[in-house]
Amino acid sequence: MHKINIVEFVKDEDGHPVKKIVAESLTLQQVYDDYIEPGKFLRLASTVPKSHAPSDHVELEKLRTARRYRDYVIFDAYSTRAQAKVDTKKPLKARGNQVEIAHLRALREVHLLLHSPMDHFAHMIDKAYQLITLGSPIEFDILIRHVTEKKAARIVSQPKDSLDYACGHFPHLRPDFILKSMPAKSRYLVQPVTDGIHLQFVIGPELEGDRLGKMDLTKRLFNVKRAVILAMDEKKDKTTPQGNPS
């Protein structure tokens, strides 16, 4: 079972930052239960160099990346330089089958990687918190594995190993940790999904008169995906030259 430390940085007599252990050898469940709450975020104490973040989780294990980088910091909302703004105009009334999302502001995106600089990571998480507070849903796109085009098909067909490893060793990238740190009553508008390369999900605010609470947008996502694949297959069939009948 992977365990991590919670640390904080304090200044020494000369004003230099010094790392101080707050809690040692905590399970991920203990951190989730005792340290994560709305407005309290988790990040690594130092940035993982790209050379220590290879594409394959087997290589990650060989490099002992999760063991080398297991000091984490808890930081507060509004503690970074992030300043989120949204359009002050009221959303227009949606028409047709979009009426259920008329009250939501524009969807924003947050892209994160294992080797994202921690200042950038903190900035983006804090900005996401601020945007959700202002009523904007956020799509999180976490790159859990770099792959070449050649390897993509094999990995997409077997996504579980890389996802399990990432979520079991790097809790700051876990959807459940991120969701719990967002504003109170935030929820998944789209549940976490993965192809073994990206881990994606949408978190949004719970608003008064919210009709989305009774809808399964994750199911709708896969329905749309199936419809697109079917349409592409039909188009392919129409454009493929037919052989001569024997």
Whole-angstrom distance, CA of residue 50 vs CA of residue 113: 10
Residue 78 gets the label, from left (phi > 0), alpha (psi -120 to 50) or beta, of left
Tell me the CATH architecture of domain 3-237: 2-Layer Sandwich (3.30)
The residue among 237, 205, 197 whose CA lies nearest residue 103 is 205
Whole-number mean pLDDT of the chain?
A: 79
Q: What is the pLDDT of residues 166-193, one digit of tens each?
A: 889 999 999 999 999 999 989 998 888 8
Cα 207 off chain centre by: 22
Q: What is the pLDDT of residues 34-57, one digit of tens each?
A: 999 999 999 999 999 999 988 778
Whole-angstrom distance, CA of residue 204 vs CA of residue 185: 9
Pairwise pLDDT comparison (174 vs 233), residue with the higher score: 174
| Three-state secondary-structure class, residue 177 | helix
Which tokens sit at 100?
Answer: 């259920």
Q: Which range, of 6-10, 63-67, 113-117, 236-240, averages the lowest pLDDT?
A: 236-240
Residue 105 gets the label, from left (phi > 0), alpha (psi -120 to 50) or beta, of beta
Whole-angstrom distance, CA of residue 204 vs CA of residue 136: 7
| Contacting residues for 172 by C-beta, under 8 A, at least 6 apart | 41, 42, 43, 44, 72, 121
Q: What is the pLDDT of residue 1?
A: 87
Q: Which of 43-57, 80-94, 175-189, 199-213 has the highest mean pLDDT?
A: 175-189
Q: Is residue 97's pLDDT more than 50? A: no
